[in-house]
Structure 1
Amino acid sequence: MATNTFLSSSSSTSEWNYDVILSYIEEETVNNFTSKLYTSLESANIKAFKEDAENFKRGDQISDSLMKGIKESRCAIIIFSRNYASSTRCLEELSLIMECWEKLGQRVIPVFLMGVTGSDIRRQTGSFEEPFRQLEECFDREMVKRWRSDLKIAGELCGWNLKDVPNG
C-alpha cells in the first residue's frame, strides 16, 4: 500500500474511542441500510461513529471530525455500493481506513451491496470501472494509483456479500 500522510509519525498507537466506524456513500444506502446498521450497533452497546449526512455533500473532502473518528475506531465497516468509487470523499476515507488497518491494526470489514462484489472492487470493474476512467483524467496519477491499491486490498478482505437488503 502506498504511504499516506494522514497519520503523523507519533500516532503509532491509538486510543480507541469508538468500536466501529461506518464508511459509505449516503445516496446509495439501500432501504436505509446504514442507518439500520448504526441503530443495531448502538442497541447492542457497540459505540459506532457515523458522520451525519447533513455534514457533507457529494464530492466534499473528508472533515476533521471524520478523520478523527476513523483514527479512533477499533474497526471500520466499509459499505461498498455501486457509486462508492464515484465519491472522492469515500476514496479518501478508504485510504485513511486502510492506513489505520496497516499501521494501527484497525480491523476492516467490507460489506458488498447492490450487486457489487469483491472482484469488482479488486479489479475496479463493473460499476467501479467508469469512475476510475474519469478519476484518471481529473486527479494526480499517484493519488488514483493509491485509491486503486487501497480498493484492491479492501476487496481481498473477508466481508459480507449482501445481494439483497430486505425492506423495512
Structure 2
Amino acid sequence: MTAHEAFSSCSFKSKLWNYDVFLSFSDEDTRKGFTGYLHDAIEDRGYMAYMDQDDLKIGEEIKEELYRGIEESKISIIVFSKKYADSSWCLDELVKIMECRSKLGRHVLPIFYHVDPSHVRKQNGDLAKAFQNYEENICEEKDDKKREAKQAKVNQWREALTEAANLAGHHLQITDNR
C-alpha cells in the first residue's frame, strides 16, 4: 500500500481510531525539521496526526498516553533517523506499533531519514552504537532477573526494528545530486 492509498483509505472517521496518523520519531534529530514539516503537511491536508507534544494530556502517564495514541491511530509513520535507536522511548513505541500492526491490522509506513534501511534491519551502522550501549548496560547488571528482563527488552527492540525495516517504505537521503 502506498502512502497515498493509506491516507485515502482513512479519510473517514471510525470509532476504532481518533487519529489518522501516529508519528514515531527521535525528538533530538527530527522534531524541528523533517518530522515537524511532515506533521504540518499531514494536518494541512485535513488529517489528524498524533504528535506527542501536542496530544499528551496534562496529568496523564506519558507512556500510557503514547500507547493509547498508537492504538487510536489508523496509520503509524516511523521516522527512522540516526538517533532513533538512542531512545528507549522510541523503541518501546516501535514495539507497540508493530504489536498493533500484528494484532489490530494497523498500517505502518517506515521512513528511513538519512539512515540505511539495512542498518535498521540489522542494528548495525548508525544504530550499532546505541545497541552496544544497551548490551553493555545488560552486562553491568548484577541482578539476574533484572539482567534477563533487560535482555528480553533489547531482544524485543531488535525484533521490532527488523520487522519494521522489512516493510516497504521510503528511503530519504540528501545527496549532492538533489
TM-score by length of 1: 0.80
Q: Return the offset for 1:66.
A: 1.2
- Of the three residues 134, 150, 157, the one matched with 2:167 is 157
Q: Is the 8 A contact 2:19 2:72 kept in 1?
A: yes
For 1:27 and 1:158, the matched residues in 2 are separated by: 25
Task: For residue 62 of structure 1, report the CA deviation from its aligned partner.
Answer: 5.0
How big is each residue's C-alpha offset from its partner over 1:104-147, in whole Å with a ceiling of 9 and x where there is no partner? 01100001112x12101111111111111111232511111110
Rounded Cα–Cα distance in structure 1 between residues aligned with 2:62 and 2:122 = 25
Whole-Å separation in 2 of the counterparts to 1:144 and 1:51: 23
Match of 2:6 in 1: none
Which structure carries more helix by proportion? 2
Letter of the structure 1 residue corresponding to residue 35 of structure 2: T
Q: Which amino acid aligns with 2:22?
A: I
The residue that corresponds to 2:43 in the other structure is 42
- Using the size of structure 2 for normalisation, the TM-score is 0.76
For residues 87 and 73 of structure 1, what CA distance do their matches in structure 2 show? Answer: 22
In the alignment, structure 2 segments of 5+ residues that lack a partner are: 1-14, 139-149
Q: Which residue of 2 aligns with 1:33?
A: 34
Identity %: 39
Distance 1:159 1:39 in 2: 20
Q: Give the aligned partner of residue 22 of structure 2.
A: 21
SS of the residue 1:52 aligns to: helix
2:124 is the counterpart of 1:125:
yes
Unaligned segments of structure 1, at least 5 residues: 1-13, 56-60
Structure number with the bigger relative contact order (C-alpha 8 A, sep ≥ 6) is 1
CA contact (8 A) 1:62 1:93 kept: no
In structure 2, C-alpha distance between the alignment counterparts of 1:134 and 1:107, rounded to whole Å:
31
Check conservation: 1:62, 1:92, Cα contact below 8 A.
no
Pairing 1:92-131 to 2, within 5 Å after superposition: 92-114=92-114, 116-131=115-130
**How many positions carry a matched residue from both structures?**
145
The CA deviation string for residues 20-44 of structure 1, in whole angstroms up to 9 with x for no partner, is 1000011111761111111110111
